[in-house]
Amino acid sequence: MSANLLIYLDGKLVPESEARISVFDHGLLYGDGVFEGIRFYNGRVFRLTEHLNRLYDCAKSICLTIPISHEEMEKATLDTIAANNLRDGYIRLVVTRGVGPLGLNPYQCPKAGVFIIASSIALYPAERYEKGLNLITCGTRRPNSAALSPQVKSLNYLNNIMAKIECLQAGCDEGIMLNDQGFVAECTGDNIFIVKNGKVTTPPVSSGGLDGITRRAVIELLGEMGIPCTEAVMTRFDVYTADECFLTGTAAEVIAAVQYDRRLIGDGKPGKITNELIQCFKKLANSTGTPVTYA
């Protein structure tokens, strides 16, 4: 991370050292807010409209009024990338409930806060993209949808963080999180797909996973590749006995998983369909998107 980054903060681009929020911001105090992680490649922002649509939908669902329009948010995002003269990288766009008195009441926060970071990210080591990830089953489960919708990308990520700690303590890169019924929901930061007999399956979002933007793109690509892809309730047995497994996410992109709970997936190497899909996704991500205008 560069010490000279310019951060969009409530309508202004400020140096990273001056990008501060109040200790009374309810995003900090209570995890009250929403965010998006967005990728850009070759000076184009990948699926920016879809990401912003989801951001505004998430905000609406938690009664959070974003203080700028969709169009203004798009411009702020593109301007932040251009101001840092970045061609490839990662955006973290955050909307907090804003400053207010202590206490849970969100209506005492008169205006939401907005900040945008354009930087870089490396979710997994480069060698994992060649050899694949090792997974475990996390004891930490995804919350019931009646408690907190998995479609809300809120600032309260503790559920995922606790699951990630389990993975790291077990010496693994990632882990599968189950829902309260014991079915596969998603991983700590990614959606999951398996391949069996040439057919691809992913859990439905009703199982507790996020309706990921990269997930959607991959389903579209599989259709173009002529590979059947269905949504179906998935168990650990299905993953144990899969021919291939791969994960998708904005930060992760597409990456193979080759071991789960110490059981090899397939032959323990990234599979044919997974490798083909990775190349197709790279081509898509590097050739489409909303263009950034540089000075």
Within 8 A by CB and 6+ apart from 242, the residues are 194, 195, 196, 265, 266
Confidence at residue 7, expressed as pLDDT on a 0 to 100 scale: 98
Per-residue pLDDT, averaged over 29-35, amounts to 98
Per-residue pLDDT, averaged over 248-268, amounts to 97
Confidence at residue 259, expressed as pLDDT on a 0 to 100 scale: 98
2 pLDDT band, cuts 50/70/90, is low
Task: Please report where in the chains the tokens 């911001």 appear, as a residue.
Answer: 25
Confidence at residue 103, expressed as pLDDT on a 0 to 100 scale: 97
Q: Tell me which CATH code domain 126-285 carries.
A: 3.20.10.10
Delimit the domains of the chain by residue range.
Answer: 6-119, 126-285
Q: Which of 95, 112, 227, 141 is nearest to 246 (CA)?
A: 227
Q: Mean pLDDT score of the chain, rounded to an integer?
A: 96
High-pLDDT (> 90) share of the chain, %? 94
Residue 1 has pLDDT above 80, yes or no: no
Residue 27 has pLDDT above 70, yes or no: yes
153 as an active site residue: the answer is: yes
Question: Roughly what angle, to the nearest 10 degrees, separates helices 272-285 and 213-225?
Answer: 110
Residue 78 has pLDDT above 70, yes or no: yes
Confidence at residue 152, expressed as pLDDT on a 0 to 100 scale: 96
The maximal CA–CA distance of the chain, rounded, in angstroms, is 57
Per-residue pLDDT, averaged over 161-180, amounts to 97
Sign of the alpha-carbon torsion through 206, 239, 255, 227: negative
Confidence at residue 234, expressed as pLDDT on a 0 to 100 scale: 98
CA distance 47 to 52: 9
Do residues 133 and 174 touch, judged by C-beta distance below 8 A? yes
Q: What is the pLDDT of residues 214-232, one digit of tens each?
A: 999 999 999 999 999 999 9
Per-residue pLDDT, averaged over 64-76, amounts to 98
CATH number (3.30.470.10, 1.10.150.20, 3.30.565.10, 2.70.70.10) of 6-119 reads: 3.30.470.10
Q: What is the pLDDT of residues 99-122, one digit of tens each?
A: 999 999 999 999 999 999 999 888
3 pLDDT band, cuts 50/70/90, is low
> Which candidate in 153, 199, 269, 272 is catalytic?
153
Confidence at residue 123, expressed as pLDDT on a 0 to 100 scale: 77
